Structure 1
Amino acid sequence: MRAVIFVAVLAVVGAGEARAQDAAAGEKVFAVCKACHQIGETAKNAVGPVLNGVIGRKAGSVAGYTYSAANKDSGITWDEATFREYIKDPKAKVPGTKMIYAGLKDEQKTNDLVAFLKQFDTDGKKK
């Protein structure tokens, strides 16, 4: 009986670790985002705005990027929960957004992407 309980506890602990945020895995998820967004010290606005310091930033506030009125007027400040909702289905969260991404439905990939993005401050330096 003890062996069964021990194995069950290990399975639960292992499952919890599998759900942890992994910035290195998030960098791989970000490869899709690179089609429109840049991040890091040399990042520039492209099809989408720079994502340096995105967690904690007010939506529609990157200088030099032309946002949709929907995004600019959304009143959103990107915290983790709001970003997760948005990245899952951008057009549902901000109807009228210019972002043409269908959405990231995989929770683990979202966790990893958030971990990757959180590494960068507003200047694009890793924290």
Structure 2
Amino acid sequence: MPTLSTSRALVAGAALVAVGALAGSLLTRVAHDPHTATAEVLTGTVPWSNQQIRRFAFEADGEPRNPLGDQTFYEFVVDDLTVPGCLAGTNDDPVREDRRRVEVEAIHQSFDGPREVNIALSVRCLDAAG
């Protein structure tokens, strides 16, 4: 039969395990892992794209335009066979400068500096011609 001191030790041990589990759970929720990213879906307009270098400018709906003319650029990760029609150029010119409506699923990564890299995981053309 356990003695009173053994019972206290068991209760204290169980309490320590519970506190440790709670602390570990909370830390995993608030800690930022720089090697993970959560994609977000944005809708907006593409005023410029270059199929050859796989980059496009993007203006998200609801964001004010930069008065200095700076644009937000996205790199898109597709092969040449799956470039969305609204980002594709022509045989003679990979650059397009017409405005097109798109939905972008993107992640954003900062590599220990002020510049953020925007990566489009998927692009869905919203215009009928795209």
Query: Do Structure 1 and Structure 2 share a fold, with TM-score over 0.5?
Result: no
Structure of higher RCO (CA pairs closer than 8 Å, 6+ residues apart): 1
Q: Which structure is larger by alpha-carbon Rg, 1 or 2?
A: 2
With the length of structure 1 as denominator, give the TM-score of the two structures.
0.31
With the length of structure 2 as denominator, give the TM-score of the two structures.
0.30
Which of the pair is proportionally richer in strand? 2
